[in-house]
Chains A and B, each alone.
Chain A
Amino acid sequence: MLNVTGDLPGDSWGIFTFLCAALCNLPALPALNCSEELGAGQSIQQTYDLTRYLEHQLRTLAGTYLNYLGPPFNEPDFNPPRLARAERVPSATVDLDLWRGLTDNARLAANYRAYSRLLCYLRVLDGQVGTAELRHRLAHFCASLQGLVLSIGGVMSSLGYPLPAGPAGPPAGPPGAPPAPNDFLKKMDDFWLLKELQTWLWRSAKDFNRLKKKVPPAVVTLRLEARGF
């Protein structure tokens, strides 16, 4: 505490000094804290980039996997009807106006829930698949997908939204679904799983584009105020 003679009362001067010291030390704060304050804007961008990366990875993975399943699954024109049992895989399909009108929370929550469940299914797939190469690719993809789920969770937290409840840990099996009665139907399930995953990644790119435009500036000022500076 400085002893200063002058007109300023001691307390005010002390506060003033404290503020100066704090402001001087601000640049020295660890980078992690700074990026948190830069906020959701940057993590949305990172999540967006992650979806693009995963989409690219999926292309190779899907090609390999569909070849492993064999025809007709690996034919480009294969366009089977959607069976009722396939409905348990979360669908990205949504009414246009509904999608436009989603709140940020709803939009993020939909993504979070979808990828969490898709991750479960993929992990089950990983346990059953034949070749070592496929297992390796699947494992790598699952790890990246896990990263995406965490990233989305991070964005939600930084924006102050609660994480949706759901299967977080490694599951025993796909929630509440009967196993496929025969080999062909099992392969159909796998086909639809990959299709939905691909569609979700395309949708997420659009979801995060929308979020990018709407979120950053307000959040930054809010966070600084909350810190008490």
Chain B
Amino acid sequence: MRIWGRPKDSGLVESISLLALHLLEGDFAHSFAVPGWIGLALPCVKMANPVPSACCMVLAAVVVVYAQRHSQPDSHTQFERVGADVTMKCGSMDWDAAVTWTVNGTDIDESHLNGSYLILKNVDLSQSGQYSCYEGSAWHLKYQTTLKVGTPPREPVLMCRSNNYPKGFYCSWHLPTPTYIPNTFNISVIHGTKEMVCEKDAVPKNRCHIRYLQLFSTVKYKVTLTVTNALGKNYTTVTFDEFAIVKPDPPESVVAKPVPNNPRRLEVSWQNPSSWPDPESFPLKFFLRYRPLILDQWQHVELSDGTSHTITDAYAGKEYIIQVAAKDNDIGTWSDWSVAVHATPWTEEPKHLTTEAQITETTSASTSSFMAPPTTKICDKGAVVGSGAVAVCWTAGLVVAAYSVLFI
């Protein structure tokens, strides 16, 4: 590279022409920019007279820009559909020029070439990459393009919901299948004749929110989402009433605790979802469901106010799973279920561990897995429950003894 060296004993015009020739030959990397400009401008600066010096500078600039435009390999990006046939031309080279194509640095076999054109049939996603075209044996880079294979967007999925009524609502969207190329989303919200602005959220990206200006509107909201990429566009629309999209977030901080000395009770408490701005004027009602882990059937309780409830029919000693959902008292739909909490009702601590252990060892134990509510039954020899039951056992034993004496 001899460009920045000042040519000796040549006129200004000559030196500029020489420089231009070098540039046009294109034997340099694309990072020419500044050093070349300085090299070209130096002879101009050396001139004594300011006016011709300025003209010279301008001329030099024009030359550099022109040269850069026409001698550097153009860097392109092209988008093509999956399954399409792609023909790549090597810039301005003739069809019969001898060229070599590479993809991501790897040579491409000549069978894919038609003259100097590269033919790719039925492209798939794996063929995305940087394609470069080099001239002849000197390996001058003539053309470069980045191929991105993708699909036009399919109809997007759009959902709008108000979890902070009456403040406003948000809409979120996504594409059902990926396109593999960049997409832009445009959302419009129309309320009657007015167009409202949906402010895009930073996180997550595919969401925007709107504030209600008026409440109790009879006019529906119409939200249209348009997806555009280099290969096509698509859109979807949803229309809804203000009331129809109200769905609170699930209740928070659900806590379930056993109640001391109550083997069949569980005390559940929770809080309004923090996103609900005004529970005083827009009260929530709640739905509680619970079941022991070992059963599949849920039990339900609907509560019109208050944020706590006592379950009174729990099976003693069994671990329960409990969830709560919320809904505006009058409008909209139920929230999703809250995070599940587990709790086991209070059980009595066994008092005389040593003596009881001895008794259970000697008798054949056949305790049922469910401790049913205390009822007086004819007890099994093995079951040890309490003094009352023991008395019954004794009585039963005596009766049996009496009968055996009579009939033997």
Q: Does B28 contact A (CB under 8 A)?
A: no
What is the interface of chain B mostly: helix, strand, loop, or mixed? loop
Q: Is the CB of A206 within 8 A of B281?
A: yes
- Stretch from B142-150, B199-207, B208-216, B252-260 at the A interface: B208-216
Q: Does A66 contact B (CB under 8 A)?
A: no
- Tell me how far the C-beta of A103 lies from the nearest C-beta in chain B, rounded to whole angstroms: 15
Q: Does B83 contact A (CB under 8 A)?
A: no
Q: Is the CB of A203 within 8 A of B216?
A: yes
B231-254 contacts to A (CB < 8 Å): 239, 243
Chain A CB within 10 Å, residue with most, of B214, B220, B283: B214
Once A202-B330, A205-B330 are accepted as A-B contacts, the answer to whether A93 and B216 lie under 8 Å apart by CB is yes
B64-120 contacts to A (CB < 8 Å): none
What size tier do the contact residues of chain A reach? 20 to 34
Contact of A195 among B214, B218, B282, B330 (CB under 8 A): B218
- Give the total number of A-B pairs whose CB atoms are below 8 A apart: 63
Q: Is the CB of B218 within 8 A of A93?
A: yes
Once A79-B239, A81-B193, A96-B166 are accepted as A-B contacts, the answer to whether A91 and B213 lie under 8 Å apart by CB is no
- Tell me how far the C-beta of B302 lies from the nearest C-beta in chain A, rounded to whole angstroms: 15
Contact of A94 among B192, B215, B222, B243 (CB under 8 A): B215
Chain A CB within 10 Å, residue with most, of B192, B217, B219, B282: B219
The count of chain B contact residues (Cβ–Cβ below 8 Å) is: 22
Once A79-B239, A202-B330, A205-B329 are accepted as A-B contacts, the answer to whether A213 and B280 lie under 8 Å apart by CB is yes
Q: Is the CB of B239 within 8 A of A202?
A: no
Once A79-B239, A82-B192 are accepted as A-B contacts, the answer to whether A210 and B281 lie under 8 Å apart by CB is yes
- Tell me how far the C-beta of A70 lies from the nearest C-beta in chain B, rounded to whole angstroms: 20
What is the interface of chain A mostly: helix, strand, loop, or mixed? helix
Question: Interface on B for A, CB 8 Å cutoff?
Answer: 166, 192-193, 212-220, 222, 239, 243, 280-283, 329-331
Known: A205-B331, A206-B282. 17 other contacts (CB 8 A): A52-B330, A77-B239, A79-B222, A81-B192, A81-B193, A92-B216, A93-B214, A94-B216, A99-B215, A100-B281, A200-B216, A203-B216, A205-B329, A209-B282, A209-B330, A210-B281, A213-B281
